Amino acid sequence: MEIKPATKEDFSEFLKIKLLFNEEYGISEKSEEFILKEFENYLKNGAIILATDNEKVLSYLIGIIEKNTYEEYGYLEEVFTLKEHREKGTSGKLKDKFIEFLKNKKINLCRIEVNPDNPAQETYKKWGFKIDKYRMSLKI
């Protein structure tokens, strides 16, 4: 298995796993053109880290760099691994590569948002993430 930053040449293989992610999490169907624009935006404003085996994408992490009035930080947007490759530490390797990317950009903070009932939060805690604020929303 190889852990590497994605390039434009990886899009067709990335598209296959991204469509599986959308299906598994019930995300409305997006066109290939929409996913390509999203892919290019992530490459421009952050990174997509891939776990591949013989060119097939087994897992990916999408992270971006965000800025607000007070700080610049990395944000883990999405992490997904094919079912048959879960529980093998792959996502942790992707996270490590993204943290390395952030350090190279002189960014020393990384955030992730997770729903309170999502069991993945236990993984994020093992990675060292801590709750530092609560986000509240109001649907209108």
Q: What is the pLDDT of residues 30-75, one digit of tens each?
A: 888 999 999 999 999 999 999 999 889 999 999 999 999 999 999 9
Structural domain boundaries in the chain = 2-126
CATH superfamily placement of domain 2-126: Gcn5-related N-acetyltransferase (GNAT) (3.40.630.30)
Residues 78-132 pLDDT 10s: 999 999 999 899 999 999 999 999 999 999 999 999 888 888 889 999 999 998 8
Confidence (pTM):
0.88
Q: Name the residue with tokens 């993204």.
A: 98
Strands of the chain (E only): list them: 2-5, 46-53, 56-67, 72-81, 110-112
Secondary structure letter of residue 64 according to DSSP: E
The single-letter code of the amino acid at 56 is K
128 alpha carbon, distance to own chain's centre: 16
Question: Cα dihedral sign for 81, 93, 49, 6?
Answer: negative
109: phi then psi, degrees, rounded to nearest 5: -140, 135
